[in-house]
Amino acid sequence: MALQESGEMYLETLYVLSQKNNAVRGIDIGDYMGYSYPSVCRGLAVLREEGLVKKDKGGFFILTEAGKILAERIYERHTILTKMFTNLGVDEETASEDACRVEHYISDKTFDAIKAHMKKYEG
Q: Could you report the per-residue pLDDT of 36-66, keeping only the tens digit for each?
A: 989 999 999 999 999 999 999 999 999 999 9
CA distance 32 to 51: 23
Whether 90 is covered by a domain: the verdict is yes
Which amino acid is located at 7 in the chain? G
Overall number of domains in the chain: 2
pLDDT at 5: 85
> What's 20's domain CATH number?
1.10.10.10
Same domain, 13 and 59: yes
Q: Could you report the per-residue pLDDT of 62-120, keeping only the tens digit for each?
A: 999 999 999 999 999 999 999 999 999 999 999 999 999 999 899 999 999 999 998 88
Q: Could you report the per-residue pLDDT of 3-43, keeping only the tens digit for each?
A: 788 899 999 999 999 999 888 999 999 999 999 989 999 99
Task: Using alpha carbons only, give the angle 110, 13, 30 rounded to the nearest 5 degrees.
Answer: 140
CA distance 66 to 51: 7
Question: 63 - beta bridge partners?
Answer: 53
Residue 65 CA, distance from chain mean position: 15
